[in-house]
Amino acid sequence: MRGDEAKGPLDFALIGILASISTILAQRGISIFAISTYDTDYILVKEKDIERAIEALIDERYEVVH
């Protein structure tokens, strides 16, 4: 799903979105707190890391809306 907006609710057939995003952030040393619900996932980032997280995701062609 790289390059597309990962905005819920998402079809259950789509897999690996949370894994992809968390891997990108982990590679930059950015900790996350993930919350999964029935139809979407939330990825929380510490305020001090938010700009770096946004930059990391944009670098990997994710569209970030905040």
Concatenate the DSSP letters of all residues of 25-64 into one string.
HHHTT--EEEEE-SS-EEEEE-GGGHHHHHHHHHHTT---
Supply the pLDDT for residue 41: 82
Answer whether residue 11 shows pLDDT above 80. Answer: no
Answer whether residue 1 shows pLDDT above 50. Answer: no
Q: Single out the residue of 47, 56, 2 nearest to residue 29, CA to CA.
A: 56
pTM: 0.76
Supply the pLDDT for residue 10: 59
Higher pLDDT, 48 or 36: 48
Residues linked to residue 35 through DSSP beta bridges, in sequence order: 42
